[in-house]
Structures are given as C-alpha cells and as structure tokens.
Structure 1
C-alpha cells in the first residue's frame, strides 16, 4: 500500500509517525497547497489528511482506496462522492476531549484568578514597595456555585461538565440538535443559558443549526463579568458581533477557533480595543502531546482495519 501524508506539520514534529511505515510505503509532505494535492495523491492507495481538501476532482484523478482524516471533522472531504467512488473515509473521534477541556479551564482560570495582573504587579517591582503584606486591587472570585452553561453536551461537553461539577459549579446545557437529554444536568434553552450563566463554553459542531448561533442580540444579554469560551468551531459565534460586544460590555472571551484559519488580518477580533477581555489562541485545544499520540494510534488502527478486510 502506498500511503501519502499531506500535512505532516499539523501533527507536530515532536510526535513519531513511524508506525505508518509498518503499514505501507510512506511519502510524507509537511504542507500541501491546493494546487499540489492532485499530483501528490494520484498514485496513492491511502491518503492521510488533517485539513487538506480532497474534492471530487482529486478523487477522479487518483486511485485512492482509503482517505484517513487525522481529525474529527470531515468537511474537507466530499463524503458523498467518495461513497459513489467506493472510497472509504475514516476519521477519528474522542482523542482530544481531555486536551480541549484542559484549555477551557486554563482560559477560565486566566480570567477568574487575574493572574496576569498579579504577576505583572510583582514583576514591575511594586510589591516590595507596598506598605502592607498583600495587594488585592483586582478582585477575583471562586468557581464554587457559579453557573457553567455548556453549548453541546457531546463527549467534550460532557467531560467539561463533570470537571466543572467537581468544582461545585451549577452545570446546565443547551442541545444544539434538540435530541440530547442528559438526566445528570439541567437542559435549558439558549437564551436562558446565555442570560443566567457565569461561564458559557461552546463544544458543538458547526452546521446549519449552529452557524452564527451566537450573535450581537443574544450575546449582549449575557451577564456583566461573564466568561464566553469557543473551543468548538469558528463560525458558531459571529465574530464581528463578538468584537462589538467585547468593547461595549464587560464580558471575557477565550477563543481557540475562528471562521477562517489561520486567522486573517482583517478578522475583527484582532481589532478589539479591550484586549484584556480577550484571549485568542491558534486552535491548540486539541493538541496536547497525549492527544496527538492517541490520534496517530487511531489513524494507524483505521488503516490496519482497512488492510485486514
């Protein structure tokens, strides 16, 4: 089997991918641009792609038998046409739940504990000049009894819910599909979740039901001082509206995903005036060392299962 890895760099060079060499003849490219894809996959039996698009045109110009997506999302592959062509498509799921939730809490603690402010206070030499032993001019609070509203109670959302409950938080959720009924947590409608939660965390897929789910009107109703996190998909929050809300009222936002990645210089979130209210990270929630090792193992298993048929 000829195996082609199209975007090796997205997996991180600290992670060993030699396992694929035990499964076939491997050709690896760090980055593949759109105009390079056709030539690179034309002789491949199996292609591994994270974000490189495999379209109808690419499939027609190849002899592909298996497309392995090294991610959970499948929107970079024309699934219907792959089925028509009898090309199997396999993704991976559940590998990054702990990693995403860990970044969620890192963002929560960043805003709750005001560590940046207090670190800077000491680094700038102000503590040694103080007349008293402490300095508490930037109020912070405890998570106990705070309401955490989770949008999308799938594997990641449920992981967050369990860990928030361990901090004695009141957890509620909104089901974007309308089909999730988890008896362990209270299900509420979106407006109630946004208006009553101290922390709102998004962990749902991007689809026709969730595109621009959060907009100026409903975000503007969030509590002053509340925290909004998006570690789901860019596009679930209208970014232009979010930039306006951040500068109009006191809400704090941790954003790991945007509608176009890498982020464009024209993205309104880069122009927010109240930068202390916004933490932007470059889509790293999924990418702990452990999560990426699990991902490679799962992709390899997908290939092994295909070969063994």
Structure 2
C-alpha cells in the first residue's frame, strides 16, 4: 500500500475539502513542516505532497521509497528537480487553476491604487470628510483606467487573462519581451519600451535566476509614465529596496504587492516601513486563494496522484 505524506495542509484554506485519492493508501498529514523536519517525515513515503515545505537533495536521498512529489502550486522552486530526476522521481505541479482568481486580485490592486481607494478610506476614518465642510474633498489623485497602457510581464495563462480583462476596461495591453532578447517575437514589445511607456506594470512570471531583480533602480529610472507596479507572481522579481527608493523619489505612482522576497516578511523588509502610505498595498500572498481556485487546485493535485498510480503521470515537470 502506498504511503502518502502531506507536509503542509495549513497552506490550503480551511474551506477546501481535502478529498483523498481513490485507491488504497496510507495517508499522513501535517499542518506545517519546518525545513529541518522534511527529511524525517518523508523517509518512508512513496508520495510526498507539498506546497511550501522544501524537498531538497538531502531529503530525497534519504527517502528510499519516494516515487512521486505532488506540488500543490504552479511554482516548484521548493523542489530540487535535478535530484528528483536523478532518482527517477516524478514531480507534478498544478496548472491553470488560478486563471480567474489571480487576474481578479491583480485588478483589485489596480483599481484600489488607481482611484486611491485606500487613501480615501483612511481619510474618512480619520474624520477628513467632516473637516472638509463640503460634499467631497481631493486629498489623493484619481485616474481612469480607460486609455492606459498596461505592461504585462509574462504571457502565460495569467498574463493573457489579465490582458483580456484590461481590454474590457479600454486598456491597451502590451506584453514585454525578455530583458535580454536579441530579437522580438510577434506579439511582444521590447522590454525597455514597455518600461518607458506603460502606465501600469504587472508581473505574471516565475522566479528564476534570469528573472530575479528583473526590475531594479535602472528600470525605475526609465519609467517615464510613473506607473503603478503590481506583483502577484513571485517575490524577488522586483528589487524591494529599489522599489521603496522609487516610491520615495516619485518615480512610480504606487505599488500593489501580493508576494515578497521572504514570506512571511523579515522585520527588515523595506516594504514594511511604507505600509501606511496611501499608494502602497501589500496583501499576504492570497491572490491565488479564492475558495473556487483552491478547491480546483486540490482536485488537480488528487488527479495528478491518481494518474501517477495508474501509470500515466500528469503535469509532470
């Protein structure tokens, strides 16, 4: 009988029904697993299920029965793929489940910042409306979306969904080419042209050595339109210290981030010092986490495990 070990069930919302694979198995579930405990917990597992608990080479080496790792996310940077492949271990992720939830969260951030919703809400709480002595007041800028240029970094399912939503609001979406592209493929705009001409920049790409610090001070200094910067993809795509400097120097209009380089953030994360600003919104990596999306994600995880058991692995990396 296969033994399945789920390392971090608490990373999936409590609303989700954790259905189990439809074949005989032993199921062991942990709410959380610290990195130093991973090796011991998967030592006798046939299948390991993880979201954020890292499965590195040492843990893989000590898990002699391990045949599959099921990642409950699209990103798989927590897995040592090379070590898994060397052992012939199948690694499967989930795909396409967030095609509604992440774009909707992206636009929630865009709307809130573009229309200064957070700033005005805080002003009303602080009594500014009463002190204004008229029917409205103008403490913060309000900009329409129609006619704006939306620079999208990443042309996968999420980037395309964001583009479709943007078009419905009269926005012009443009997809940025790779930063180091020697030629520009049809449908893409040169990286630095997007940097210079976009009113809003939104990121929808994985974190890799090539994309880490994709946007830093050199890029911020080229942003002629003073755009909003939205990141619902991965922390590390934007240099956070440079982001705060860009905010301080007025190089950008604001920032909406759902992801940070380290999660939860370290006490010295520079973004923590600017959270009270009306043009900064940070949410705790929940863009993916609508009830509907999380249930669809889990159904796909179970499907991946069942397909592996049948000898037909799905979403294998």
Scaled by the length of structure 1, the TM-score of the pair is 0.91
| Contact 1:98-1:159 within 8 A present in 2 as well | yes
Partner of 2:295: 293
For 1:12-51, what aligned pairs fall within 5 Å after superposition?
12-20=13-21, 24-51=25-52
Structure 2: gaps of 5 or more residues: 312-317
- In structure 1, runs of 5+ residues without a counterpart are none
Name the counterpart of 2:150: 148
2:48 partner SS: strand
SS class of match (2:27): strand
How far, CA to CA, are the matches of 1:225 and 1:70 in structure 2? 37
Cα distance in 2 for partners of 1:91, 1:288 equals: 18
Q: Quick check: 2:116–2:278 contact (8 Å CA) kept in 1?
A: no
Aligned equivalent of 1:193: 194
Q: Work out whether residues 71 and 93 of structure 2, in 8 Å CA contact, stay in contact via their aligned partners in 1.
A: yes
- Among 66, 77, 84, which residue is 1:75 paired with? 77
**Are the equivalent residues in 1 in contact too, given 2:196–2:225 (CA < 8 A)?**
no
> Which one has more relative contact order, counting CA pairs under 8 Å at least 6 apart?
2
What's the CA shift string for 1:46-76, capped at 9, x where partnerless? 1100111112221221111111011111221
CA deviation vs aligned residue, 1:190-222 (integer Å, no higher than 9, x gap): 211111111000111122321211110211222
Structure 1 residues 221 and 22: alpha-carbon distance in aligned structure 2, compared to 1, 3 A threshold: same
TM-score normalised to structure 2 length: 0.89
User: What SS class does the counterpart of residue 276 from structure 1 fall into?
Assistant: coil
Matched, 1:244 2:275: no
1:277 shift after superposition: 2.5
Aligned positions of 1:107-256 closer than 5 A? 107-127=109-129, 131-176=133-178, 178=181, 181=185, 183=187, 187-223=188-224, 225-249=226-250, 250-256=252-258
Computed over aligned residues only, the root mean square deviation of the Cα atoms, in angstroms, reads 2.2
Cα 1:218–1:92, aligned 2, differ >3 Å: closer, same or farther?
A: same
Q: Alignment partner of 2:20: what SS?
A: helix
Deviation for aligned residue 1:29: 0.2
> In the alignment, which residue of structure 1 is the partner of 2:264?
262
Report the alpha carbon displacement of residue 238 of structure 1 after superposing the two structures with TM.
1.3
How many residue pairs get matched?
306
Q: Greater helix share, 1 or 2?
A: 1
